[in-house]
């Protein structure tokens, strides 16, 4: 696959969502998604990116039994009756979408999942979140929980790349965006575009982090990862106050130069759009980040051999 660019331009939209409260029904949420999909299509978008766990509130902030969580927040099939209007709208308006939701499989396995749907309304890719943040125990003293490790299994399929109407597109979800391996595994499959959804609480319950850093680190990882891999990155957040719990906004589209080319301004439902030029990434992948020419995997072995940091290698002194 190398640096072949199959298509030059693509209309790309990111649909940020404001809060989804516990009381909001799937029907109301899906109607909001359909409205944004229509707006994206009217702006000539070919793909619209929705957030992680877009159909419900960010329920891992609440302690409950797994049975209750399954009943209230997980999708047993996709599409299903509630979500079908979104698939219909995609077909009608000839636009693809990325959507995050909580998946329960027929054999009862639970994943934090995203799908890539083409403009014919067909699911062409599925991704199950690999980097699950948070904890599985009940932190009674904390102002809220982050129970992704309780409600979800680690994704079992790794990071894929799919041909979305001529654009090689990879997916990840929220915390994955902070890890360099996420993007490199996809750029080694010749991804041109990586799309992701997120729910990022403004407050860090693990240590006393200044609130502004949540947005700063979000920007840094998206910009650096786009540049270091010569790819476009599109990130859609669910944000604002969900039943009083705040999450960051700043949904954005980042060019392979690392520059932010579109950014949401508020913390409500908002569609941002860019007509992305896929040849921009080609320049980076042919020159500074020509993997074939310049990567040295023989010196990166620790990346797959070690999980945590260990002792320095015994390299000695060379003269
Ligand atoms: N949803 C998600 O992955 N959120 C994390 C919060 C990390 S703090 C436990 C994120 O990286 O934005």
**pLDDT tens by residue, 2-52:** 455 567 999 999 999 999 999 999 999 999 999 999 999 999 999 999 999
| CA 194 to ligand 1 centroid distance, Å | 18
**Ligand 1 closest atom vs CA 214:** 12
Cis peptide leading into 37, omega within 30 of 0? no
3-state secondary structure of 58: coil
- Residues near 185 by beta carbon (within 8 Å), at least 6 away in sequence: 158, 159
Q: What percent of the chain has pLDDT over 70?
A: 97
Are 48 and 95 spatial neighbours (Cβ–Cβ below 8 Å)? yes
Give the mean pLDDT of the chain: 97
Name the CA dihedral angle for 58, 179, 227, 171, rounded to a multiple of 10 degrees.
-50
| CA 206 to ligand 1 centroid distance, Å | 11
- In short, whether 178's Cβ falls inside 6 Å of ligand 1 is yes
Question: In this structure, how many other beta carbons lie within 10 angstroms of the beta carbon of residue 288?
Answer: 11
Q: Give 247's pLDDT tier (boundaries 50, 70, 90).
A: very high
Place of tokens 């982050």: 146
**Residue to probe by mutation, ligand 1, list 20, 57, 200, 238, most atoms within 8 Å of CB:** 200
Mean pLDDT across 117-135: 98
CA-closest residue to ligand 1 atom 7: 133
Residues 262 and 270: their CA atoms lie apart, in Å, by: 12
Cα 301 to Cα 67, 225, 297, distances in angstroms = 42, 20, 7
Of 253, 254, 257, 261, give the one whose Cα is nearest residue 283: 257
Are 102 and 151 spatial neighbours (Cβ–Cβ below 8 Å)? yes
**Ligand 1 closest atom vs CA 204:** 8
Q: Give 88's pLDDT tier (boundaries 50, 70, 90).
A: very high
């Amino acid at each position: 696959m190398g640096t072949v660019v199959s298509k030059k331009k693509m209309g790309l939209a990111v649909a940020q969502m404001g809060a989804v409260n516990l009381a909001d029904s799937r029907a109301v949420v899906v109607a909001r998604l359909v409205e944004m999909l229509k707006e994206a299509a009217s702006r000539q978008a070919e793909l619209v990116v929705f957030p992680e766990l877009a159909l419900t509130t960010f329920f891992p902030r609440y302690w409950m039994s797994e049975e209750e969580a399954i009943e209230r927040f997980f999708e047993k099939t996709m599409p299903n009756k509630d979500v079908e209007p979104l698939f219909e709208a995609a077909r009608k308006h000839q636009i693809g979408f990325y959507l995050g939701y909580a998946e329960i499989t027929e054999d009862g396995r639970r994943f934090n999942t995203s799908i890539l749907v083409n403009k014919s309304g067909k699911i062409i890719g599925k991704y199950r979140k690999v980097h699950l943040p948070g904890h599985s125990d009940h932190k009674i003293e904390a102002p809220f929980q982050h129970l992704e490790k309780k409600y979800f299994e680690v994704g079992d399929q790794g990071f894929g790349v799919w041909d979305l109407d001529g654009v090689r597109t990879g997916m990840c979800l929220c915390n994955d965006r902070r890890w360099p391996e996420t993007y490199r595994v996809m750029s080694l499959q010749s991804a041109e575009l990586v799309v992701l959804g997120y729910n990022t609480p403004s407050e860090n319950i693990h240590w006393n982090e200044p609130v502004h850093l949540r947005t700063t680190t979000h920007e840094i990882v998206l910009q650096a990862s786009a540049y270091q891999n010569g790819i476009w990155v599109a990130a859609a957040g669910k944000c604002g106050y969900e039943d009083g719990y705040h999450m960051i906004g700043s949904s954005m589209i980042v060019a392979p130069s690392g520059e932010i080319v579109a950014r949401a301004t508020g913390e409500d439902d908002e569609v941002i759009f860019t007509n992305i030029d896929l040849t921009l990434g080609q320049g980076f992948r042919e020159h500074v980040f020509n993997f074939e020419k310049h990567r040295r995997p023989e010196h990166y072995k620790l990346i797959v051999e070690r999980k945590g940091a260990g002792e320095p290698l015994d390299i000695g002194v060379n003269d």
